[in-house]
Structure 1
Amino acid sequence: MTQKQQAFLFDLNGTIIDDMAFHGRAWYQILTVDLGAKLTHEEVKVQMYGKNGEVLDRIFGKNRFSEEDVEKWSMEKERRYQKEYLPHIKLIDGLDDLLKRAAEHSVQLAVASAAIPFNIDFALDNLNIRHYFGAIVSANDVAISKPHPETFLKAAQLLGASPENCIVFEDAPKGVEAAQNAGMKCVAITTAHPKEDFSQYTNVLAFVKDYTDPFIKSLL
């Protein structure tokens, strides 16, 4: 990869911010307490990927909820998550330095997430990092969520970068799978999953706990 072609694509939750436990608690309350799904916290954790409507479809079956109900429960879940997480919000260790160094090296950056704009805006604006990103792809911008490659391919297209010259940063197996499906290499952040959960994928360059790992410095 040449520096002019290189681009970094970041998932949001668990990758820019370490907030998946807060999402898990909010989903558990909605799914189990409010909607009556008989799921444990661990079972909720396995299911909470992709768009919110896709989560509801996987658990309750398609067409159980109207579009209006999906929107209602989706926003209620995000309001609960944001209220609980806001006092704790911060970048994952070392990411501030990586963003600054990437900008200095003219590496293009994008957020490529299954989160809705409401949550992406919440993170980028509270952390004051929006200016680093040349493209943002949210759940609203794609037809099919991860592990389909559309999210990452669209982000690369918006940056004018080819897939083979992109590095994806992800915390979830389905996200790493989406990167692999897009023809992109990936760095797996082990905030939410141990490296054993990624054993079936061949596109992982490294497993890191956070962005202070020496491998991260080698990318620039």
Structure 2
Amino acid sequence: MTLSHNDLRQYFAGIVTGEDVKNNKPAPDIYLHALNVAKVDKNEAVIFEDAPNGVESGLNAGIDVVLVPDQVMPSEEMIKKVTGVKSLADAVPLFE
């Protein structure tokens, strides 16, 4: 509803929620389902996550993860497996 109200729905191939999958994060189900909905391969996708369960879920799905800082950070071991940014603006050069 928020996307439609703000005229942003057109920028999304589909909307996937935890209700669409059997197992929620940190299981990879939601991201694998999103790939299917968007009709893209995991090598063509990137996940922006701020939560440890989300980071783990993305890594479990085999998709590149960009970690966006939040109050609760993933473990140092998990941080070593992702690309970290200080803000979303810092992620722009990753895709230029």
TM-score over 0.5 for the alignment? Answer: yes
**Deviation per residue, 1:85-109 (Å, 9 max, x gap):** xxxxxxxxxxxxxxxxxxxxxxxxx
**Deviation per residue, 1:48-89 (Å, 9 max, x gap):** xxxxxxxxxxxxxxxxxxxxxxxxxxxxxxxxxxxxxxxxxx
Instruction: State the identity as a percent.
Output: 31
Match of 1:134, SS? Answer: coil
Query: Aligned in 2, Cα 1:183/1:143: closer, same or farther, shift over 3 Å?
Result: same
Match of 2:94 in 1: 218
List alignment gaps of at least 5 residues for structure 2: none
Deviation at 1:199, TM superposition (A): 1.8
Deviation at 1:126, TM superposition (A): 4.4
The answer as to whether partners of 1:184 and 1:203 remain within 8 angstroms in 2 is: no
Match of 1:137 in 2: 16
Query: Aligned in 2, Cα 1:193/1:144: closer, same or farther, shift over 3 Å?
Result: same
The CA distance in 1 between the partners of 2:85 and 2:9, in whole Å, is: 24
The CA distance in 1 between the partners of 2:34 and 2:95, in whole Å, is: 20
AA aligned to 2:82 is V
Match of 1:203 in 2: 81
AA aligned to 2:67 is A
User: How many residues are matched?
Assistant: 95
TM-score normalised by structure 2 residue count: 0.83
Query: Aligned in 2, Cα 1:164/1:212: closer, same or farther, shift over 3 Å?
Result: same
List alignment gaps of at least 5 residues for structure 1: 1-120
Say whether residues 1:147 and 2:26 are aligned partners.
yes
TM-score normalised by structure 1 residue count: 0.39
User: Aligned-residue CA RMSD in angstroms?
Assistant: 1.8
Say whether residues 1:193 and 2:37 are aligned partners.
no
